[in-house]
Each structure stands twice: as C-alpha cells, then as structure tokens.
C-alpha cells in the first residue's frame, strides 16, 4: 500500500469534522509533505487522540511542536481555501 493510500485510511476518523478536515487535506490537491520530516510529523499528528486533534485543527488548542504546527497550518490552508 502506498503512502497516500495509507494516510487516507488513517485520516478516516469517524468524526464528521475530522473527516472533513483530514480527508479534505488529502483530497484537496494541495496535499504536499516536503520531505521525511513533514511526513513523520503528519504520521505523529495522526497518532493524536481524536479530541486533541480536533482541538488543534479547530484552533481551540496549540502545540509547541513546530513541525506539528506546520502540518496543522497546511491542513487548515488546504481545507479553508477549497473551491
């Protein structure tokens, strides 16, 4: 299974909001992870519990991890500016 398919499967969370944000990022055409560091950060983000992940993506929480914050910004940008 290739990386994109694996990520798409892991983005299916069963929570409408998370599914819209995460799958929206994958399906937006703006899905880009620059290198191994961002790929690892995205994998780490997908390991977060749903409640923590939702808080971060909805801007009700913050992380001190700059690589995770960068991925969150990419997800927000890809799903906010969809046409």
Residue range(s) defining the domain that contains residue 54 = 3-80
Query: What is the residue whose two structure tokens read 């994998």?
Result: 43
Q: Which residue has the higher pLDDT, 1 or 18?
A: 18
Note if the pTM is more than 0.75.
yes
Query: What CA–CA distance (Å, rounded) separates 66 from 16?
Result: 26
The mean per-residue pLDDT over the stretch 9-32 comes to: 87
Q: What is the pLDDT of residue 30?
A: 64
Query: What is the residue whose two structure tokens read 């599914």?
Result: 19
Inform me whether the pLDDT recorded for 45 exceeds 90. Answer: yes
Q: What is the pLDDT of residue 11?
A: 92
CATH, residue 65: 1.10.150.250
Token output for 35: 């290198």
Q: What is the tally of structural domains in the chain?
A: 1
Q: Which residue in 61, 56, 55, 2 sits closest to 31, CA to CA?
A: 2
């Amino acid at each position: 299974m290739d990386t994109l398919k694996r990520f798409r499967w892991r983005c299916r969370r069963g929570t409408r909001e998370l599914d819209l944000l995460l799958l929206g990022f994958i399906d937006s055409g703006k899905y880009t992870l620059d290198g191994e560091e961002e790929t690892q950060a995205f994998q780490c983000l997908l390991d977060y519990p749903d409640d923590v992940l939702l808080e971060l993506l909805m801007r009700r929480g913050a992380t001190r991890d700059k690589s995770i914050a960068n991925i969150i910004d990419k997800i927000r940008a890809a799903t906010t500016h969809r046409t």
